[in-house]
Amino acid sequence: MTSIGLADAVRFQDLGLREEILKAVEEAGYREPTPIQARAVPEVLRGRDVVGIAQTGTGKTASFVLPILHLLAQGRSRARMPRALILSPTRELASQTAANFDAYGKYLRITKALLIGGVGMGEQERLLERGVDVLIATPGRLLDWFERGRVLLGGVEILVIDEADRMLDMGFLPDVERIVGLLIRRRQTLLFSATMPKEVRRLADTFLRDAAEIRVAPKVQKAELVEDVLVPTRGRDKRALLLRLLREQEVGCAMIFCNTKREVAALTRFLRDRGVDARDIHGDLDQSVRQATLDAFKKGEVRYLVATDVAARGLDIAELPVVINFDVPHNTDDYVHRIGRTGRAGRKGRAFTLVAPQDERLVQAIERLSGGRLPRLELEDPEEGRRAPSDAPDRNQQHAQAVEAPDGERASGTRRRSGRRAKTAASRSASAAPKAQPVVGLGDHVPRFLQIQVPVRAAAKSGAE
Ligand code: AMP
């Protein structure tokens, strides 16, 4: 299984970690290790190289952070010479990993620095200068600093290559290889990847020695706790359909994925023009803007985050109830990663994918991966594509929603389920409708769902960690 699952009968106390770490883990609220933690922590503590085949959402970050903290608790850092190096493909993942070190290392005196693009580096440079135990970096930025002589890599005893398949996707593998070539040979290397394309396998074979291979999710296996549904769209106006989906499925807060930066920007504009509380996050935005948006989303101050795959990779947002694929992703791995943003840490999630007739081939691949036909949620009637989008909301009020069961039956059970779900969604996110705001672009007609007031406190809970 891929969503967080607990390892049979293994307790954190059995893993051989120091008391200070166990205390911090307990305070984080974790009762038992996840399977990747139960299997990886002892291997890392033994000094072995590890290949961890695990997606985000499985607890893989703690599976290397916890034993590294333990190993580094002895010994001392030297100026500019970190003892552990964590390579992350994105700034967001790097920041989250840094936060993990802070959380689990709060009772230890472990120092760290973060080298990523887009944030003021003066403070990080001062930290490095003084000597840090852990350096967390994106590959390009690290090389940049190395070349300027600001960081020395000769003291790195433990190297982590995180999300290696994403490194590959983003064209970072040559940088990673260069960095590994700068390290001492007598080191411990941990490599994590959700999937194992041949280039990543080659990287592991070249740079790891006698590695323990721990696989907690077969390639492209879906998170079990996510209920995913396809939303067929025949008309051309996918955006109007999205508005309708947000309202009819009581989506109080969600991440909405598009395939391109351009679509992210256009869709965000469309939603905001209609008073929907959406913000965009993609690779071209300044780091401080991305971080501020993400923080606002986590706090529940923003209800819908519109994102590309790259920007969303590695974002850790607990309790995200819904993911929407505005565009069908081009491959099943991205599908799995996207829907894996919900249904995390033992909680149920929902994923909706808008599918147009031309997406048929991609839909087949997703259904093959899912082991059968996925339920369809019919929101659009055959005439819809021809109507002006601003007509839609009122008529939608009378339009009976029907969810087809996988075997093609109209399932009354499914309807009952959606009723129950409506309740949980309501308790999670307080209100069905996007926040009422001045509406631009709909003329005099303001759909009823945009007029519902949302209690601010309750709304703020949804989507927050
Ligand atoms: P990751 O796979 O590292 O992105 O972690 C996914 C989420 O699971 C994060 O929000 C972690 O805080 C959480 N998590 C990590 N380990 C555990 C655990 N043993 N029990 C419950 N939640 C956990």
User: 242 and 210: one domain?
Assistant: no
The answer to whether residue 390 is domain-embedded is: no
User: 232 and 175: one domain?
Assistant: no
Whether 3 lines ligand 1, by a CB cut-off of 6 Å, is no
Q: Which of 32-41, 73-82, 143-152, 418-427 has the lowest mean pLDDT?
A: 418-427
More confident residue, 7 or 64: 64
User: 199 and 246: one domain?
Assistant: no
Q: Mean of the pLDDT values across residues 48-53?
A: 97
Residue 29 makes CB contacts below 8 A (sequence gap 6+) with none
Q: Do residues 353 and 364 touch, judged by C-beta distance below 8 A?
A: no
User: 365 and 450: one domain?
Assistant: no
What is the Å distance from ligand 1's center to 6 Cα? 11
pLDDT tens profile 393-414: 332 332 223 333 333 323 333 3
Protein residue with its CA nearest to atom 14 in ligand 1? 59
Protein residue with its CA nearest to atom 5 in ligand 1? 59
For 422-439, b/e burial (b = at least 16 CB within 10 A) is eeebeebbbbbbbbbeeb
Distance of alpha carbon 339 from alpha carbon 351, whole angstroms: 6
Protein residue with its CA nearest to atom 11 in ligand 1? 59
User: 17 and 124: one domain?
Assistant: yes
What is the Å distance from ligand 1's center to 340 Cα? 13
Whether 194 lines ligand 1, by a CB cut-off of 6 Å, is no
pLDDT tens profile 190-229: 999 988 999 999 999 999 999 999 998 543 455 667 788 9
What is the Å distance from ligand 1's center to 406 Cα? 31
pLDDT tens profile 362-396: 888 888 777 778 889 888 654 554 444 443 333 23
Whole-prediction pTM value? 0.55
The answer to whether residue 278 is domain-embedded is: yes
User: 312 and 363: one domain?
Assistant: yes
Q: Which of 38-42, 110-114, 256-260, 344-348 has the lowest mean pLDDT?
A: 344-348
Ligand 1 atom showing the smallest separation from residue 58 Cα: 2
User: 93 and 139: one domain?
Assistant: yes
Whether 34 lines ligand 1, by a CB cut-off of 6 Å, is yes
Q: Which residue among 2, 30, 93 is best mutated to probe the pocket of ligand 1, counting the most ligand atoms within 8 A of its Cβ?
A: 30
User: Which amino acid does the sequence have at 295?
Assistant: D
What is the Å distance from ligand 1's center to 293 Cα? 22
- Domains identified in the chain, total number: 3
User: 99 and 243: one domain?
Assistant: no
Domain boundary among 158, 190, 215: 215
User: 49 and 166: one domain?
Assistant: yes
Q: Which residue among 316, 341, 342 is best mutated to probe the pocket of ligand 1, counting the most ligand atoms within 8 A of its Cβ?
A: 316
Distances (CA, A) of 233 to 161, 187, 236, 238, 242: 40, 53, 8, 7, 10
What is the Å distance from ligand 1's center to 216 Cα? 14
User: 12 and 124: one domain?
Assistant: yes
Domain boundary among 353, 370, 387: 370
Which domain does 22 fall in, by range? 2-215
The answer to whether residue 445 is domain-embedded is: yes
Q: Which residue among 21, 61, 193, 216 is best mutated to probe the pocket of ligand 1, counting the most ligand atoms within 8 A of its Cβ?
A: 61
What is the Å distance from ligand 1's center to 122 Cα? 31
CB atoms within 10 A of CB 420: 9
The answer to whether residue 220 is domain-embedded is: no
What is the Å distance from ligand 1's center to 57 Cα? 6
What is the Å distance from ligand 1's center to 55 Cα? 11
What is the Å distance from ligand 1's center to 430 Cα? 25
Domain boundary among 215, 247, 274: 215
What is the Å distance from ligand 1's center to 98 Cα? 14
pLDDT tens profile 112-135: 999 998 666 788 888 888 899 999
Whether 337 lines ligand 1, by a CB cut-off of 6 Å, is no
User: 318 and 452: one domain?
Assistant: no
Whether 57 lines ligand 1, by a CB cut-off of 6 Å, is yes
- Is the pLDDT confidence value at 450 over 80? no
Ligand 1 atom showing the smallest separation from residue 28 Cα: 12
Could you tell me the pLDDT band of residue 30, with boundaries at 50, 70 and 90? confident
Q: Is the dihedral of CA 275, 280, 286, 289 positive or negative?
A: positive
The answer to whether residue 319 is domain-embedded is: yes
The answer to whether residue 431 is domain-embedded is: yes
pLDDT tens profile 131-170: 999 999 999 999 999 999 989 999 999 999 999 999 998 8
Q: What is the CATH number of the domain that holds 271?
A: 3.40.50.300
The answer to whether residue 334 is domain-embedded is: yes
Whole-number average pLDDT of the chain: 78
User: 337 and 455: one domain?
Assistant: no
Whether 60 lines ligand 1, by a CB cut-off of 6 Å, is yes
Which pLDDT score, from 0 to 100, does residue 220 have?
42
Give which of 152, 233, 64, 192 is closest to 243, Cα–Cα. 233
Distance of alpha carbon 320 from alpha carbon 179, whole angstroms: 35
The answer to whether residue 187 is domain-embedded is: yes
Whether 59 lines ligand 1, by a CB cut-off of 6 Å, is yes
pLDDT tens profile 428-437: 333 333 433 3
Q: Mean of the pLDDT values across residues 50-77?
A: 91
Which pLDDT score, from 0 to 100, does residue 312 have?
67
